[in-house]
Structure 1
């Protein structure tokens, strides 16, 4: 593999052996010393791009499954005057809600990372930010269904709402998302007691989810208030 050089990113299959062997080499480094060619700049860059490509491909596959569920009527859009935009999602089964939550969380996570990278490189692409805001709006459409399930059931689907809050430029939707997060937390009471504290904590948590900071640096409150 070292003689072949970094994987060809234009080949859909070529990056996979490199990523799989990376785990084996990391394990080997624990018991022996050798020249780890994966640490060379060209390898590090290629592996990082390959991982991102794989994540995008997996997100596309999940999106395709979601589209099929919509076409089959398993996920529908219904009128909801309390939801921003007046439209909310409804599901034949909670499993399809879980599918949507996974799609939205993965999309939001990737879009956050892409926007952060573009910002660092000084080459922002406006359509990425618009897409991130659009997906954030979809997260809002998921909230009414979860409210009908109750705060305990909704605990499993908090990730997309955290990610959506930081991404959403619309104050109305940001308030709606924070209201939902606080409502879900009414059961465990894990978040700060004040609304402003929640609004401050959520973006910091997203920075941990996207790798911008270590989770140990996020000042989560203790379990008891």
Structure 2
């Protein structure tokens, strides 16, 4: 990018045209562009102040929009991405009469249309007519993409339910146990494990649950007192009053 010595920046194509036709095109010498601030994610491109005046039809084209070297009319999104910018298209919301007219009323609305930028730091790069109607293009440095939002983890609520409501029909449950031996965690507090109580079938109100033998590194029967419980899987939540509440 080069400057014409005044307030207007010119593209390399404009510079080549000027040099081809001689210095008579400009009364002042061409100066290299000012150094780009390395902290500027826009790198000095797509400045709104450099947007030329609209055409008689209302078209706007920013000089920083890249063009294919062979002037092909392919989509420009790949070139804009190569510049390091995201590309967003906005359709014009014209009146039905203007869309049907496709003449003076249409161009009148195009001239009056001020496209609204998407949410975030976007700059207008182009506005005009296409085969599919009025559209505008906005660009934003990829460096300004918002941080992705990580959805909250979907899992079982680990707030234990009182043992008074725990099923005693042999259903396997998650049990919060105050271990006296073979604890599943190397901690002084209660730890989670799995187990069941078969009282409704055999009449014995005894909780049996998994423990860990720390001496020989294998599962074994745990010893202690269950102090809370949760369903083993989400499908059992309906049988657990107060889960997650």
What is the TM-score of this pair, normalised by structure 2? Answer: 0.21
Larger CA Rg, structure 1 vs 2 = 2
